[in-house]
Every structure is written in C-alpha cells, then in structure tokens.
Amino acid sequence: MTSTASETDGVATANRVAPASREELAEALHGADQRGEAVAPVGGGTQLDLGMPPTRLDLIIETTRLDKVVEYEPADLTVTVEAGLLFAELQKRLAEQGQFLALDPPAAPGATLGGLMATNASGPLRFAYGTARDLVIGTRVANPDGTVTHAGGRVVKNVAGYDLNKLYIGSLGTLGIIVELSFKLAPIPPATNTIVGQFADVNAARAIINAVVQSPLSPMAIELVGPRAASAAALPEAMLVVFRVGGYPQAVERQVRDLSALVTQHGGQRVETSDTVWDDLTGMRIAAQSRDVVVKAAVPLVESTRVVEILERRLAASDPVVWAHAGNGVAYAACHAPSDSTVLRELRAEVAALGANASLVIQRCPTSLKRAVDVWGDPGSSVALMRALKAKLDPNNTLNPGRYVGGI
C-alpha cells in the first residue's frame, strides 16, 4: 500500500479543509492543535510516501487554494508566491520573462512549491545552481499556535535574524505549514545542449567525471545514467555520462567540443541524440517516482560511480532504474518492491561504508516494508536537537506526527 492525497500509508481521515487564505489556514491549524488533533499538510499530494507512517491523523489541510503569485519584478530576479502554486505554473510564468527557478526536481504535474520545499526536492541542476536552501530567500509559515510568521525576506542578500528558511526546507511539514515563499531566480540560458557519452567501463566514467568537476568547464548538470534508466529514456542500454550545458551559443559550442573530446579521451563513445534527450531523461526520472520503491543515496562526490554500481547490483532482482547527480554524489534507484527488507538494510550498510556522512533514505516503499525498516536510517547525534526544536515549534505534536526522522 502506498499513499494518495487522502491517506498516508493506510492512515486516513475524511476530514479535510482547503483554506482560501493564510489566516484561514492558520486558524484551521490552531483549532486542530487546541482540540489535540493531528494535522497533515498537503499540497499536490505527490510526495506523501516520503517518511514513516503517521502515528495519528485527524485533519488534512490543503494549501492548493493558496495559489497566487504575490509579487514578481523581473528586474529584481526574485519572486514571491503562495505555497500552493503549482511548480509548473510558476515556471511557465517566469519563462515569459526569460527567467526560471533553477530547480528541476522530478515533480509530477500536480506538485506545489510548498510541497517541493517541505520535501527539499531537487534534480540535476543542483550541480550548478544548488538546492532549495540556496534558492529560497523568504518563507512564511502558519504555526500551531495560530500565528503566521516570516523569516528572510525578498532580497537576495540578507543576514537579518536567524535564517529559518533553511530549517523549514526539508522539514516535511513537521514544524509549521509553509504558506508563502520568496525565491531568487536565474535567467534562462540563451542556448543549451546535452552531451551523452557511453562507457563500457565504470572506472572510465569515474575518471571523466573527476576530470570535468576539476576543470574550468561549467556544465549545468553532470548525470550518470544506469543501463535500465538509459533504456527507459530511449537511449542505448549502457552506462551513460550526460552533460547539460548552457550559456551564450559560442560558449555552449566550446563546451560541447571540449566535453565530446573528453568522452573520447576517456575511452567513451559519444552517443548521437535528439534535441529532446534532456526532456526524455527528465521524463524517465518522473516516471520512476511511481515505482514501488525509490531510494536516495548521498555519498562523497568521488564515489558517484561506485554508488551507482552498488545500487544496480544490490537491487538487480527488482529491475532497478538507477541514476545519479554525479557532480554532487547523489544517486537514486527506483525498482520493484524486494521480497523482504533485508535487501534494503544491506544496501544501506554498503552505501554508508562509502563515507563518514554517506546515507541512504528510502523515499518511497510499501507500508509493509516501512514496518520493517526505518526509511530515514540512523539520524545520528543531531536528533536530540531536532526533537528540542520540534518541541518548541509544535509542542502538542500536531503536525505530521511520527513521519519524520527519529520518530518526530
């Protein structure tokens, strides 16, 4: 069993509200808090599988009616939006001005900005542009005590007060409900291109990635794509290294030339591709999100090829689709559910051995597996601090109880 918009891991409620303003939303949250009810904030409901099953659920609060662009001044390269605005809708609005939010998570069409921030979703562009924590400049949240508070602001440089933006991002709705967000934006590069290299030898792939990250070349993304993932994107069924480049046309040409030469020098073979190959890869990642199991590994950058190899090998019996943001050391696998949790435990142990902070999070899996394995893994020594923060910001444990790290 997985999750739908009205239930999470089999825990369901018929009570749902979709407030029309942030004040109404704060009131609904405060009311639930006073009645001792547990609340699940929901945006587009596309990522409800993330986390452990909730321990309680009495009310779903939807953010989808908070869907306005609050302020957009293109010359400021910033935008402020309500949290229920669709990610796709924002990108469409920004593209009209030649700008974009430099974030490309594998988001389903219904994904909202609030949901993507609460889950700290990211994609290949994190190599050049960073993740949500680098792009969010202001956050407004509704709190269980009924207040609506903001942190940060609408300017790109700001050190006034604590930077709570970074705390709310990735907190999975356990500290407050995000109702408004301000982002810094980037211009859409005047030209882009994608270079695909096919490698028979995983060490050769490792060598070219290390060479490129240490060169002055500046791809927007460096992706490793495993054979099944490649095949799912209509590419040759082999280990691929994919570079996305953008900028002025003459600079894009130079990067295509240099990266193609590096592919050949490292014993790879340049794959001739269609213009849509980058979109096809995006489509592959989005489709993979609906497989039974999705895991995310974080390892030192130099271990990107090794973690892909580990994911392919450990999950081989479950038809894995594997890809990595190789310039960041972040890898994903999406596959059928393994017969028991042992496979996932052993996988986690092997990934953890790749570095002091290496980790494996199970982003999605059947509820039955969640009973056998903690999807977050060992939270480490910082869990006490996380609990202290939770106790201060949500003292009655109203928000998404039980779903977060360490049972928070």
CA 65/CA 51 separation, integer angstroms: 25
Give the nearer residue to other proteins in terms of CB position, either 154 or 345.
154
Least distance in angstroms from the C-beta of 125 to other proteins: 15
Smallest separation, CB 238 to other proteins (Å): 29
Pick out residues in 185-224 that bind other proteins (CB under 8 A): 186-190, 213-218
- Closest listed residue to residue 223, CA positions, set 244, 202, 206, 207: 244
Exposed / middle / buried, residue 69 (Cβ in 10 Å: 0-12, 13-18, 19+): middle
Instruction: Say if residues 107 and 116 touch (Cβ distance below 8 Å).
Output: yes
Q: Shortest Cβ distance from residue 408 to other proteins (Å)? A: 13
Nearer to other proteins, 163 or 292 (CB): 163
Residue 9 makes CB contacts below 8 A (sequence gap 6+) with 1, 2, 3, 49, 52, 53, 54, 367, 370
Q: Which is nearer to other proteins, 14 or 385 (CB)?
A: 385
Asked if 45 touches other proteins (CB under 8 A), the answer is no
Applying CB under 8 A, does 330 fall inside the site for other proteins? no
Of 303-311, 346-354, 366-374, 389-397: span binding other proteins (CB under 8 A)? 389-397
Q: Is 23 in the site for other proteins (CB under 8 A)?
A: no
Separation CA 14–CA 6 (nearest Å): 7
Q: Which of 30, 56, 65, 150 binds other proteins (CB under 8 A)?
A: 150
- Shortest CB 102 distance to other proteins, Å: 11
Closest approach of Cβ 267 to other proteins, in Å?
Answer: 23
With beta carbons less than 8 A apart as the criterion, state whether 109 and 45 touch.
no
Considering the rule CB under 8 A, would residue 73 count as an interface residue with other proteins?
yes
Ramachandran angles phi, psi of 205, nearest 5°: -65, -40
Query: Which segment (54-62, 182-190, 334-342, 360-368) binds other proteins by CB under 8 A?
Result: 182-190
**First CA to last CA distance, the chain:** 22
Residue of 36, 92, 211, 248 interacting with other proteins (CB under 8 A): 248
- Contact flag: residue 391 with other proteins (CB under 8 A): yes
Task: Please say whether the beta carbons of 89 and 138 come within 8 A.
Answer: no
Dist. CA 62–CA 53, nearest whole Å? 19
Among 247, 267, 366, 406, binds other proteins (CB under 8 A): 247
Interface with other proteins in residues 250-279 (CB under 8 A): 250-251, 253-255
> In the set 90, 135, 151, 293, which binds other proteins (CB under 8 A)?
151
Judged by CB under 8 A, which of 86, 113, 164, 294 binds other proteins?
A: 164
Question: Which one of 23, 76, 279, 319 is in contact with other proteins (CB under 8 A)?
Answer: 76
Instruction: Give me the least distance between CB of 51 and other proteins, in Å please.
Output: 21
Q: What are the residues facing 100 on neighbouring strands?
A: 186
Residues 299, 236, 229, 251, CA torsion sign:
positive
Cβ 245 to other proteins, closest distance in Å? 10
Task: Identify the CA nearest to 327 among candidates 237, 218, 239, 197.
Answer: 218
> CB of residue 265 vs other proteins: minimum separation in angstroms?
18
Give the one residue of 14, 96, 157, 381 binding other proteins; rule: CB under 8 A.
Answer: 157
Q: Which residues contact 134 (CB under 8 A, 6 or more apart)?
A: none
Torsion of CA 36, 38, 41, 47, to 10 degrees: 170
Question: What is each CA distance from 186 to 106, 157, 175, in whole angstroms?
Answer: 19, 15, 29
- C-alpha angle 369/370/373, rounded to 5°? 85
- Work out which of 110, 153, 300, 407 binds other proteins, going by CB under 8 A: 153
By CB under 8 A, name the binding residues for other proteins.
73-78, 98, 143, 147-151, 153-162, 164, 167, 186-190, 213-218, 247-248, 250-251, 253-255, 385, 388-389, 391-393
